Amino acid sequence: MSATLMESGAVVERTDVACPSFTAVLHAEWVKLHTVRSTWWTLLATFVLGAGLTILMCWGNADWLASPEADESPGSFITWGMMVAQITAVVLGALVVTTEYGTGMIRTSFAAVPARGKVLAAKSLLVVLVFGIVGTVTALVGYLGGNFFLDREGIGMPLEGDVLRSMYGSGLYLAGIGLFTVAVGFLLRHTAGTISVVLALMLILGNMVNLVPGAVGEWLTKLMPGNAGSSISTPVAFNPNLLDAWAGFGVFVLEIAVLLAAAYVVVRRRDA
């Protein structure tokens, strides 16, 4: 932290005031996160939508999936609810950042932590950890409940291979979405704007670019954030033309890194 002193009519800048450690900043951000009711409501919605809808879809479609007329794999349903649960990751990722901008408390945060990159890094790390854990647990509960109904029809899926990957992949994907939204939140500094932009990129534009003809449209579809990242969270790809699970997630991580770098530059240079 710097301090300004007057010496013989000249302004002297001091930089010997200690800046909080990253551990202290992380603890402060954790207090902000877990003491707000909206955090717990959002995480509860993540669990209910992610696990509940998966179980409901497996229950409602188990008979059809076991019939000769079925043209879909049970793997298309075993993490179905996580497609909806990603919306809550966008909401919480936005609120972690934009709430402070909306109330003006971000000025207090930056005054207490002049190294603004620490604030960005602490918020980012917390979002990754929270959604990594919650996403994995939610997907696993959905699998256990949904697979119960699939097992009764003789089409249950063992927790191995691509099914196992989709469990922790769901956590990775939700964590990635949250981190993606944190970066956009620092860039836009507005809750509704951040949520709208991210949801449009993840859910709308990812499907619309498929209308672009030729190879350009194919590659745009593959590289859109939602399409690239989501493959890791499903045992069976909804679109066979998308990138493989780990290749797609690698592209998603690269896109997140670019956004975070832009957010870091903006946070350092722009007034709060």
- Say what the pLDDT of residue 272 is: 63
Q: What is the extent of the structural domain holding 158? A: 20-269
pLDDT in tens, 206-258: 888 888 888 888 889 899 999 999 999 999 887 778 899 999 999 999 999 99
If phi over 0 gives left and psi between -120 and 50 gives alpha, with beta otherwise, what is residue 214?
left
How many domains is the chain partitioned into structurally? 1
The verdict on residue 9 lying in a domain is no
Locus of tokens 């709208």: 196
Task: Tell whether 221 is covered by a domain.
Answer: yes
In a domain, 153, yes or no: yes
- Whether 12 is covered by a domain: the verdict is no
Cα distance between residue 272 and residue 270, in whole Å? 6
Residues facing residue 14 across a β-bridge: 3
Assess if residue 134 is contained within a domain. Answer: yes
For residue 66, tell me if it sits in a domain: yes
Q: What digits encode the pLDDT tens for the residues 96-151?
A: 999 999 999 999 999 999 999 999 999 999 999 999 999 999 999 999 999 999 99
Instruction: Choose among 121, 146, 130: nearest CA to 91.
Output: 130
**15 secondary structure, DSSP code:** -
CB 235 within 8 A of CB 78: yes
Give the model's pLDDT for residue 47. Answer: 96
Residue 11 pLDDT greater than 60, yes or no? no
Is 5 domain-assigned? no
Angle at 258 between CA 47 and CA 248, to 5 degrees: 55
The pLDDT value given to residue 237 = 80
15: in domain: no
